[in-house]
Structures are given as structure tokens and as C-alpha cells.
Amino acid sequence: MPSVAFHREPMLPFLEAKQCKRSDLAYHKHFHAEYSIGLIDKGATNAWCDGKLLQVEEGRLISFPPSMLHACQPQDDTAWEYKMLYIKPEWFQDLEQREMDQLYIPYLLEEGKNKACRLHLNRTMEAIARKGTPLEIETALIDLVQALVSQHSSDLEHEASCKQDQKYVKGIREYLHEHFAEQVTLETLENETDISRFHLVRLFKKWNHLPPHAYQILLRINHAKTELAKQRPIADIAAEVGFYDQSHFAKAFFKIVGTTPQKYALMI
């Protein structure tokens, strides 16, 4: 990977990700149009944020609301590496005002919450860098934002049970079954169910014990197993079920089935 790399998914135009491995980069006072969430992977930096001086050490997250002036200066004699997500403000429109108030404060998190958010930020970055599905990338991002706005690190999965919730989840499952090979986005599911993507992800995970993108991958792999039994070319099946390429298909297949598509086909 180059010393500075940007990652984008065309179907998620509200999100841009950056990875930096250059210790000589210092940023003078500036601001972004987007909401920014950063993670220091290595080293430490002195951050100036709206008149406040902060020290951001390895493993810590920091965030900047849109248009907030800030600057970063890596500490001397340290190898500085970091990740940053830039999210357009309109993506947050379905958050409640209480959550927006919690989100739009630049902060360093307490240790327990920082650990949870670091995990979600890394998952989001990993998904977009390896060209995961739009559904996987945005679900990881929503998990990150929900962790950021929750008042307690354990308060991430609290929803009241009701028949209406189950109706929504049933509708999402049915849509995924019908369109499992397509590049489904959370915006698509939001339009199908008429509930916000933030609420949608929470409900689906509660009733299915996994997020929508993981459910979709299971549908793809199950269909692929049926097609492999027909001795069809693996490359054709990978493309048919919506994987980016044959390598991504093989990795996903192995994680679920425990063997490669080639070996699975030979066992039939």
C-alpha cells in the first residue's frame, strides 16, 4: 500500500476513507466539510482543536465535526500512522437530536468506549479497503456511529420487542432472498421498509443475530453450493452470486463451508 491511500465505494458517495503511513506529514489549521473520525495506529500526535490542545496517543480515536478548525503535528522521533473516515453530514439525518448532540463534539473517548469504537472503525476501513459489498461497509459504519453516540459502551443493542419490528425484519429478509446476488445498499432496504438505516440495522441484528450483509453472504454461498454441484465453472458462479472476483468468493466460501469451492466441487 502507498504511504497515503484513499478508498471509496461508488455506491456509497457519502463516505471516503484514508490511510496514512507518513511520519513527515503535519497538517496546519484546516477544516473538512465532512464529519471526520480518526484512529492513531502508531505513534502519537499533538492535536489543536478549536483552541484546545490535545495529545492523541496510539490506539486512540478523535473526531471533528464539519467546519471545525483543527491541526495535527506528529510528535518528534515517532513513526506516525493513522486512519481517517470522512462522512458527509447528510448521511446522519436520521439520527435523533440527542444522538447528534453526542456525536457533534470533538472528543477523545474513555478507555472502554474507545476500545469498542476502535474495533468498529477498523472493520469499516478493512471492508472498504478490500472492496467489500456496500451493505457490509455501511453496516460497519453504522455500528461505529452507534458505538460513538451510545451513552454506555454496553448500550448498543437495546430495542423493544414488538410485532411491527418482526414485520420489518421479515420484509428485509424477503428482499435479501430475492436480490441476494445484487449490490444491495442500506438505502435500498431503507426505502423498502420505510425505517431509518440506523434502526434497521439494530432490528435485523437483534432478531437474526447477524447484520444484513452477513445474511446476504450466507444466501450467496448457499446458492453457490447448489451451482457447484452442477459442475459449473467456479468463475461463472462467483460472478453470478455477486462477488467482486473469484478470490473474494473463495475466501468467503472457505469461512462458511470450511473448504475451497474447488475442493467442494470435487467432493460431489
Return the pLDDT at 151: 64
Return the pLDDT at 23: 63
Return the pLDDT at 159: 42
Lowest mean pLDDT among 16-20, 35-39, 153-157: 153-157
Return the pLDDT at 60: 93
Q: What is the mean pLDDT of residues 87-100?
A: 85
Q: What is the mean pLDDT of residues 13-28?
A: 81
158 pLDDT more than 60: no
| 14 and 139 housed in the same domain | yes
Phi, psi of 66 (to 5 degrees): -55, 140
Question: CA nearest 135: which of 209, 46, 200?
Answer: 200
| 130 and 182 housed in the same domain | no
How many structural domains comprise the chain? Answer: 2
Percent of the chain scoring above 70 in pLDDT: 91
| 128 and 253 housed in the same domain | no
Instruction: Say which residues have a Cβ less than 8 Å from residue 3's Cβ, sequence separation at least 6.
Output: 20, 21, 22
Phi, psi of 34 (to 5 degrees): -100, 165
Return the pLDDT at 77: 63
Which helix (DSSP H) or strand (DSSP E) does residue 86 occupy? strand 81-87
154 pLDDT more than 50: no
Question: CA nearest 149: which of 213, 82, 85, 198?
Answer: 198
Return the pLDDT at 267: 78
Measure the CA–CA gap between 84 and 65, rounded to whole angstroms: 13
| 77 and 192 housed in the same domain | no
| 49 and 31 housed in the same domain | yes
pLDDT digits (tens, 9 = 90+) for 217-266: 999 999 999 999 899 999 999 999 999 889 999 999 998 888 999 998 88
Neighbour-count burial for 189-198, b at 16+ CB within 10 Å, e otherwise: bbebbebbbb
190 pLDDT more than 50: yes
| 266 and 176 housed in the same domain | yes
The last residue of one of the domains, among 149, 173, 200, is 149
Q: Are 58 and 43 in contact (CB under 8 A)?
A: yes
152 pLDDT more than 70: no
| 39 and 124 housed in the same domain | yes
| 144 and 167 housed in the same domain | no
CATH number at residue 57: 2.60.120.280
Return the pLDDT at 78: 66
Full residue range of the structural domain in which residue 106 is found: 4-149
The pLDDT mean for the chain works out to: 87
| 142 and 168 housed in the same domain | no
Return the pLDDT at 69: 80
Q: What is the DSSP letter of 75?
A: P
